[in-house]
Amino acid sequence: GKYEKMDIPVKGGDELTNINRTFNMMMEKLEQHYRKQEEFVSNASHELKTPITVIESYTKLLLRRGFDNREVAQESLLAIANESSRMHEMVLQLLELAKNNEHLDIHFEQLELAPFLNKVASQMQHAYHRAFIVDVKKPSFVYSDEKILKQLLFILLDNARKYSEDEVHILATETANHVCITIQDFGIGIPAEHIPHLFERFYRVTGDRNRKTGGSGLGLAIAHGLAEQLGIMMDVKSTIGEGSSFTLCIPKEGQQ
Protein backbone atom coordinates (compact mmCIF):
# COMPACT_ATOMS: atom_id res chain seq x y z
CA GLY A 1 0.00 0.00 0.00
CA LYS A 2 1.10 3.50 -0.76
CA TYR A 3 -0.81 5.08 2.07
CA GLU A 4 -0.13 4.24 5.67
CA LYS A 5 -3.13 4.22 7.92
CA MET A 6 -2.68 6.85 10.54
CA ASP A 7 -3.94 6.09 13.97
CA ILE A 8 -4.35 9.43 15.62
CA PRO A 9 -4.07 8.91 19.35
CA VAL A 10 -7.43 9.47 20.90
CA LYS A 11 -7.51 11.86 23.81
CA GLY A 12 -10.54 14.04 23.42
CA GLY A 13 -13.19 11.33 23.31
CA ASP A 14 -15.79 10.78 20.60
CA GLU A 15 -15.03 13.64 18.28
CA LEU A 16 -11.46 12.62 17.68
CA THR A 17 -12.48 9.00 17.29
CA ASN A 18 -14.91 10.06 14.58
CA ILE A 19 -12.35 12.18 12.78
CA ASN A 20 -9.94 9.30 12.91
CA ARG A 21 -12.51 6.91 11.50
CA THR A 22 -13.48 9.28 8.69
CA PHE A 23 -9.85 9.86 7.83
CA ASN A 24 -9.16 6.14 7.62
CA MET A 25 -12.20 5.61 5.45
CA MET A 26 -11.03 8.33 3.06
CA MET A 27 -7.59 6.79 2.88
CA GLU A 28 -9.05 3.39 2.13
CA LYS A 29 -11.10 4.86 -0.75
CA LEU A 30 -8.04 6.62 -2.14
CA GLU A 31 -6.00 3.49 -1.88
CA GLN A 32 -8.68 1.47 -3.67
CA HIS A 33 -8.81 4.05 -6.44
CA TYR A 34 -5.05 4.06 -6.75
CA ARG A 35 -4.91 0.26 -6.90
CA LYS A 36 -7.52 0.21 -9.68
CA GLN A 37 -5.57 2.76 -11.65
CA GLU A 38 -2.38 0.77 -11.21
CA GLU A 39 -4.10 -2.42 -12.32
CA PHE A 40 -5.50 -0.66 -15.39
CA VAL A 41 -2.08 0.58 -16.51
CA SER A 42 -0.53 -2.81 -15.94
CA ASN A 43 -3.33 -4.60 -17.84
CA ALA A 44 -3.14 -2.13 -20.72
CA SER A 45 0.62 -2.52 -21.02
CA HIS A 46 0.34 -6.27 -20.91
CA GLU A 47 -2.35 -6.37 -23.59
CA LEU A 48 -0.35 -4.08 -25.87
CA LYS A 49 2.82 -6.05 -25.35
CA THR A 50 1.43 -9.16 -27.05
CA PRO A 51 0.85 -7.61 -30.49
CA ILE A 52 4.12 -5.69 -30.23
CA THR A 53 6.02 -8.91 -29.58
CA VAL A 54 4.36 -10.60 -32.56
CA ILE A 55 5.14 -7.65 -34.82
CA GLU A 56 8.74 -7.59 -33.61
CA SER A 57 9.37 -11.27 -34.24
CA TYR A 58 7.75 -11.27 -37.69
CA THR A 59 9.71 -8.18 -38.68
CA LYS A 60 12.93 -9.99 -37.75
CA LEU A 61 11.84 -13.05 -39.71
CA LEU A 62 11.00 -10.82 -42.67
CA LEU A 63 14.41 -9.19 -42.56
CA ARG A 64 16.20 -12.49 -42.23
CA ARG A 65 14.38 -14.62 -44.80
CA GLY A 66 11.74 -12.49 -46.48
CA PHE A 67 13.92 -11.27 -49.36
CA ASP A 68 14.57 -14.76 -50.69
CA ASN A 69 11.33 -16.40 -49.77
CA ARG A 70 8.06 -14.97 -51.01
CA GLU A 71 5.96 -17.20 -48.78
CA VAL A 72 7.78 -16.11 -45.64
CA ALA A 73 7.39 -12.48 -46.72
CA GLN A 74 3.69 -12.95 -47.33
CA GLU A 75 3.05 -14.68 -44.01
CA SER A 76 5.07 -12.12 -42.06
CA LEU A 77 3.44 -9.09 -43.61
CA LEU A 78 0.00 -10.57 -43.09
CA ALA A 79 0.70 -11.18 -39.40
CA ILE A 80 2.16 -7.70 -39.01
CA ALA A 81 -0.87 -6.13 -40.69
CA ASN A 82 -3.26 -8.11 -38.47
CA GLU A 83 -1.51 -7.32 -35.24
CA SER A 84 -1.16 -3.66 -36.17
CA SER A 85 -4.88 -3.30 -36.74
CA ARG A 86 -5.59 -5.11 -33.48
CA MET A 87 -3.32 -2.72 -31.68
CA HIS A 88 -4.85 0.26 -33.43
CA GLU A 89 -8.32 -0.87 -32.36
CA MET A 90 -7.15 -1.38 -28.80
CA VAL A 91 -5.57 2.06 -28.57
CA LEU A 92 -8.79 3.63 -29.87
CA GLN A 93 -10.73 1.72 -27.23
CA LEU A 94 -8.35 2.79 -24.48
CA LEU A 95 -8.79 6.41 -25.52
CA GLU A 96 -12.53 5.88 -25.49
CA LEU A 97 -12.32 4.46 -21.97
CA ALA A 98 -10.28 7.41 -20.76
CA LYS A 99 -12.89 9.75 -22.25
CA ASN A 100 -15.64 7.85 -20.45
CA ASN A 101 -14.18 8.82 -17.14
CA GLU A 102 -14.60 12.47 -17.89
CA HIS A 103 -18.04 13.82 -18.45
CA LEU A 104 -19.23 13.38 -21.99
CA ASP A 105 -21.03 16.08 -23.87
CA ILE A 106 -24.57 14.77 -23.59
CA HIS A 107 -27.57 16.06 -25.50
CA PHE A 108 -30.81 14.43 -24.49
CA GLU A 109 -33.58 14.56 -27.05
CA GLN A 110 -36.73 12.71 -28.11
CA LEU A 111 -35.75 9.95 -30.50
CA GLU A 112 -38.21 8.16 -32.67
CA LEU A 113 -37.38 4.58 -31.80
CA ALA A 114 -38.28 2.57 -34.92
CA PRO A 115 -36.37 4.71 -37.46
CA PHE A 116 -33.45 4.99 -35.06
CA LEU A 117 -33.16 1.23 -34.51
CA ASN A 118 -33.75 0.47 -38.19
CA LYS A 119 -30.88 2.75 -39.15
CA VAL A 120 -28.55 1.12 -36.63
CA ALA A 121 -29.59 -2.35 -37.82
CA SER A 122 -29.11 -1.55 -41.49
CA GLN A 123 -25.64 -0.17 -40.83
CA MET A 124 -24.69 -3.41 -39.09
CA GLN A 125 -26.29 -5.44 -41.87
CA HIS A 126 -24.28 -3.67 -44.54
CA ALA A 127 -21.04 -4.01 -42.63
CA TYR A 128 -21.35 -7.69 -41.77
CA HIS A 129 -23.84 -9.22 -44.22
CA ARG A 130 -25.89 -10.65 -41.41
CA ALA A 131 -29.58 -10.23 -40.58
CA PHE A 132 -30.31 -7.76 -37.78
CA ILE A 133 -34.05 -7.91 -37.15
CA VAL A 134 -35.80 -4.99 -35.47
CA ASP A 135 -39.03 -5.47 -33.56
CA VAL A 136 -40.47 -2.38 -31.87
CA LYS A 137 -43.37 -3.58 -29.71
CA LYS A 138 -44.81 -0.53 -28.09
CA PRO A 139 -42.76 2.53 -27.31
CA SER A 140 -42.42 4.95 -30.18
CA PHE A 141 -40.08 7.41 -28.51
CA VAL A 142 -37.10 7.30 -26.24
CA TYR A 143 -35.45 10.21 -24.45
CA SER A 144 -31.69 9.88 -24.79
CA ASP A 145 -28.54 11.03 -26.58
CA GLU A 146 -28.62 9.66 -30.12
CA LYS A 147 -24.88 9.48 -30.70
CA ILE A 148 -23.99 7.86 -27.39
CA LEU A 149 -26.90 5.44 -27.47
CA LYS A 150 -25.88 4.41 -30.97
CA GLN A 151 -22.30 3.84 -29.85
CA LEU A 152 -23.55 1.71 -26.98
CA LEU A 153 -25.79 -0.37 -29.27
CA PHE A 154 -22.96 -0.88 -31.75
CA ILE A 155 -20.81 -2.45 -29.04
CA LEU A 156 -23.56 -4.88 -28.04
CA LEU A 157 -24.51 -5.66 -31.64
CA ASP A 158 -20.90 -6.23 -32.57
CA ASN A 159 -20.55 -8.75 -29.74
CA ALA A 160 -23.82 -10.44 -30.70
CA ARG A 161 -22.43 -10.84 -34.20
CA LYS A 162 -18.99 -11.99 -33.06
CA TYR A 163 -20.26 -14.65 -30.68
CA SER A 164 -23.02 -16.10 -32.84
CA GLU A 165 -23.58 -17.19 -36.40
CA ASP A 166 -27.25 -16.54 -36.97
CA GLU A 167 -29.46 -13.53 -37.11
CA VAL A 168 -29.46 -10.98 -34.30
CA HIS A 169 -32.66 -9.56 -32.86
CA ILE A 170 -33.22 -6.02 -31.64
CA LEU A 171 -36.35 -5.80 -29.56
CA ALA A 172 -37.93 -2.72 -27.99
CA THR A 173 -40.47 -2.99 -25.17
CA GLU A 174 -41.64 -0.73 -22.39
CA THR A 175 -42.47 -0.84 -18.71
CA ALA A 176 -44.12 1.87 -16.62
CA ASN A 177 -40.88 3.80 -16.12
CA HIS A 178 -38.52 2.49 -18.76
CA VAL A 179 -38.09 1.87 -22.44
CA CYS A 180 -36.06 -1.30 -22.87
CA ILE A 181 -33.97 -2.36 -25.85
CA THR A 182 -32.85 -5.98 -25.96
CA ILE A 183 -30.09 -7.28 -28.22
CA GLN A 184 -30.51 -11.00 -28.56
CA ASP A 185 -28.24 -13.51 -30.24
CA PHE A 186 -28.46 -17.27 -30.66
CA GLY A 187 -24.78 -17.95 -30.25
CA ILE A 188 -22.35 -19.62 -27.88
CA GLY A 189 -23.72 -18.04 -24.69
CA ILE A 190 -21.83 -17.07 -21.55
CA PRO A 191 -21.17 -19.35 -18.57
CA ALA A 192 -23.02 -18.00 -15.52
CA GLU A 193 -19.90 -17.54 -13.40
CA HIS A 194 -18.48 -15.07 -15.93
CA ILE A 195 -21.53 -12.84 -16.15
CA PRO A 196 -20.75 -10.70 -13.07
CA HIS A 197 -17.33 -9.85 -14.51
CA LEU A 198 -18.21 -9.05 -18.13
CA PHE A 199 -18.12 -5.29 -17.64
CA GLU A 200 -14.64 -5.23 -16.13
CA ARG A 201 -11.87 -3.86 -18.28
CA PHE A 202 -9.93 -6.51 -20.24
CA TYR A 203 -12.21 -9.27 -19.03
CA ARG A 204 -12.74 -12.03 -21.55
CA VAL A 205 -14.31 -15.42 -21.12
CA THR A 206 -11.36 -17.76 -21.41
CA GLY A 207 -11.00 -20.73 -23.71
CA ASP A 208 -10.63 -21.45 -27.39
CA ARG A 209 -13.95 -19.88 -28.22
CA ASN A 210 -12.54 -16.40 -27.96
CA ARG A 211 -9.31 -16.81 -29.81
CA LYS A 212 -10.57 -16.31 -33.32
CA THR A 213 -12.42 -13.09 -32.55
CA GLY A 214 -9.26 -11.41 -31.27
CA GLY A 215 -11.10 -8.95 -29.04
CA SER A 216 -9.62 -6.95 -26.21
CA GLY A 217 -12.17 -7.28 -23.44
CA LEU A 218 -12.71 -3.51 -23.47
CA GLY A 219 -15.99 -3.28 -25.40
CA LEU A 220 -18.34 -4.01 -22.52
CA ALA A 221 -16.34 -1.83 -20.11
CA ILE A 222 -16.84 1.06 -22.53
CA ALA A 223 -20.52 0.15 -22.92
CA HIS A 224 -20.92 0.17 -19.15
CA GLY A 225 -19.38 3.64 -18.89
CA LEU A 226 -21.64 4.98 -21.65
CA ALA A 227 -24.74 3.45 -20.06
CA GLU A 228 -23.86 5.06 -16.76
CA GLN A 229 -23.60 8.47 -18.39
CA LEU A 230 -27.05 8.04 -19.91
CA GLY A 231 -28.69 6.70 -16.74
CA ILE A 232 -29.27 3.35 -18.46
CA MET A 233 -29.35 0.05 -16.59
CA MET A 234 -27.96 -3.02 -18.31
CA ASP A 235 -29.04 -6.57 -17.75
CA VAL A 236 -27.53 -9.77 -19.15
CA LYS A 237 -29.18 -13.12 -19.60
CA SER A 238 -27.44 -16.03 -21.20
CA THR A 239 -27.58 -19.77 -21.67
CA ILE A 240 -24.58 -21.70 -22.93
CA GLY A 241 -25.13 -23.00 -26.43
CA GLU A 242 -28.39 -21.11 -26.80
CA GLY A 243 -27.42 -17.48 -26.82
CA SER A 244 -27.29 -14.24 -24.90
CA SER A 245 -29.40 -11.16 -24.48
CA PHE A 246 -28.26 -7.77 -23.28
CA THR A 247 -31.04 -5.42 -22.22
CA LEU A 248 -30.78 -1.65 -21.86
CA CYS A 249 -33.42 0.00 -19.71
CA ILE A 250 -33.72 3.68 -20.47
CA PRO A 251 -35.63 5.90 -18.05
CA LYS A 252 -38.62 7.66 -19.59
CA GLU A 253 -38.44 11.43 -19.89
CA GLY A 254 -38.73 13.27 -16.62
CA GLN A 255 -37.28 10.38 -14.66
CA GLN A 256 -33.64 11.08 -15.43
Residues that bind ligand ADP (CB under 6 A): 159-160, 163, 185, 187-190, 198, 203-205, 210, 215-221, 244
* Residue 217 region by backbone torsions, left for phi larger than 0, else alpha for psi between -120 and 50, else beta: left
Cβ closest to ligand ADP, residue 44 vs residue 188: 188
- Burial pattern 55-73, b for ≥16 Cβ within 10 A else e, equals beebeebbeeebeeeeebe
Q: CB-wise, 130 or 252, nearer to ligand ADP?
A: 130
* Closest residue to ligand ADP, based on beta-carbon distance: 215
Quote the CA–CA distance of 110 and 65 in Å, as a whole number. 60
Beta carbon of residue 148, minimum distance to ligand ADP (angstroms, whole number): 17
Q: Give least dist CB 161 to ligand ADP, A.
A: 8
For the CB of residue 150, give the shortest distance to ligand ADP in the complex, in Å. 16
Question: Toward ligand ADP, which CB reaches closer, 145 or 185?
Answer: 185
With respect to ligand ADP, which residue has the nearer C-beta, 44 or 221? 221
The stretches of the chain forming alpha helices (DSSP H) are 14-65, 70-101, 113-128, 146-162, 219-230
For the bound state, the minimum distance from the C-beta of residue 217 to ligand ADP, rounded and expressed in Å, comes to 4
